[in-house]
Amino acid sequence: MSTHTSPLAGKPATDGKLVDLGALTAAYVDLRPDPSVPEQRVVFGTSGHRGSSFERSFNEWHVLAVVQAICDYRRQVGVTGPVYVGIDTHALSQPAFESTLEVLAANGVETFVSTDGEYTPTPAVSHAILAHNRGLETGQADGIVITPSHNPPDSGGIKYNPPHGGPADTDATSWIARRANELIEGGLREVRRMPFAQAMKASTTHAFDFLQRYVGDLGDALDLEIVRANGVRMGVDPLGGAGVHYWSAIGERYGLHLTVVSETVDKTFAFMSLDWDGKVRMDPSSAYAMQRLIGLKDRFDVAFACDTDHDRHGVVAPSMGLLPANHYLATAAWYLFQNRPGWRPDAAVGKTAVSTGLIDRVAAHLGRPLREVPVGFKYFVSGLFDGSLGFGCEESAGASFLAKDGSPWSTDKDGIVAALLAGEMTARIGRDPGEIYREITGKLGDPANARIDAPASHAQKQKLSRLDPAQVTSRTLAGDPVVGVINQADGQPIGGIKVMSAQAWFAARPSGTEDIYKVYGESFRGQAHLELVLKEAQQMVDASLA
């Protein structure tokens, strides 16, 4: 097992093959899934159902069935308020939005859609739900976000956010997926639907200004006054994503020195540089995909980008270039818990099982509880909702945190506030996030870490997800005694396995969103030791998949 980096990695997307938008959207309508084929069924991964119309894994039938299933689910659990619907800039998102509204209107569901067809970041939907539900006992709202996140341009996705504003838990998504597959198997006979033009004019369909709501409240989460007062020069690349028009509005509203590198929306994403595997992928944590912004690092005190639905972030600092996601997340935790006096004194630091162990050391150093969970932001929702979790993060550059007064801000990942936080810490401390990270590692240790991605079939992913601690017979990891082998975190399965020593760890798990699997490794003994850790990890994964 190894990551095979494409010779096209980091090169302009135009050097590769761009998606045929006409064929893609035609396949959305023309191709129907076969529910007897596992890859063509509705499956909610770590964040919604995703796929490609070319592969019959994200087509009109999938969306119609999922939205009808959501309507059925809402009735069963008693959600009676409106649905807030968001949409990103992927080519399949517009036809999926039309399908969504056709079903919601036919079911008589009050629905808020973005004013003038503006694209909608995931955190703007989460924040709108929370703002609507504040103080309500009945008539609470929920949401649907149409996005495959950072996935390639031929991808589509749809996810459900209940009244707590964050990603739905496994109980909800399992119910919705099961019902959706039943509807597909039944030929959609139980799906209620009306024409899109009629749905847009329905008495239940309303315009909502997500942008003004989110931008107007942003000062509740961040100290933007100190950023303005210190004149921090910030650059942002929206990567042609859903927040493309949010950034200029933020700069104007708060008087920030914020330069938007590009507001281009191109559904082929031809302006991107190719990712590690030669694919177009709007991943702001990938140095290959972030070539445009990395090249501009010396123009700004700090720069950043977000993925297509703006729930992930990438931060570029003059001192380091693109910070690896783990570096920035540890730095954000370090900064936030020393600069948010309005948070509960027992508010915990949250991280996934495959995020850096430096966050564990930061929490211990600051005297904060640590909450380690499986991969999936849904495991942070309850803590971010009730204030018991100050900050929750995933190694894949997803994070959110409480408002300054300790109330919930966004219970879904928020790439916008995570990115702008880099400007706040630069203004307050007078050093960029890369310099702050070096100060932290000087105190707590400097980990070397890596993640290896490799292609995996559906069967291989299933096999890897069922690994058991008993299958790990080695008592040492790269020369150090093994202190723990787990396949659960916070009482929930991690979908793989994690092996730990006092100075290192590795974890292996299949991706919940793509046909790849991932091996993560980290060592506080340096790069050479990390390579030994990864070598042993590879041997175990190869044996399990043989």
* Catalytic residue check, 149: yes
Instruction: Report which residue type is found at 293.
Output: L
At which residue do the structure tokens 């570096």 appear? 327
Q: Pick the catalytic residue: 52, 149, 155, 410?
A: 149
Q: How many CA atoms lie within 13 A of 212 on its CB side?
A: 6
Distances (CA, A) of 454 to 45, 317, 432, 511: 18, 29, 33, 10
- Tell me the three state secondary structure of residue 312: strand
Which residue, among 71, 127, 136, has the nearest Cα to 99 in the 3D structure?
71
Pairing assessment for the beta strands 205-208 and 111-114 based on DSSP bridges: parallel
* Alpha carbon distance 14, 66 (integer Å): 34
Q: What are phi and psi of 352, to 5 degrees?
A: -80, 165
Query: Which residues, in sequence order, are CB contacts of 358 under 8 Å at separation 6+?
Result: 326, 330, 440, 441, 444, 445, 447
* Alpha carbon distance 115, 392 (integer Å): 31
Distances (CA, A) of 57 to 54, 381, 401: 8, 28, 33
Q: How many CA atoms lie within 13 A of 53 on its CB side?
A: 26
- Tell me the three state secondary structure of residue 83: strand
Rounded to 10 deg, the angle between the 325-336 and 415-429 helix axes is 60
Q: What's the distance, Cα to Cα, between the start and end of the chain in Å? A: 11
> Which DSSP symbol is given to 60?
H
Contact (Cβ atoms closer than 8 angstroms) between residue 47 and residue 167: yes
DSSP state string for 137-198? SSS--EEEEE--TT--TTEEEEEEE-TTSS---HHHHHHHHHHHHHHHHTTTTT-----HHH
Q: Which helix (H) or strand (E) holds 417?
A: helix 415-429
Alpha helices (H) in 234-354, listed in sequence order = 246-254, 291-294, 325-336
Which residues sit opposite 12 in a β-bridge? 273
- Rg over alpha carbons for the chain, rounded to the nearest Å, is 22
* Alpha carbon distance 403, 408 (integer Å): 6
> Which DSSP symbol is given to 232?
-
Which residues form the catalytic set? 149
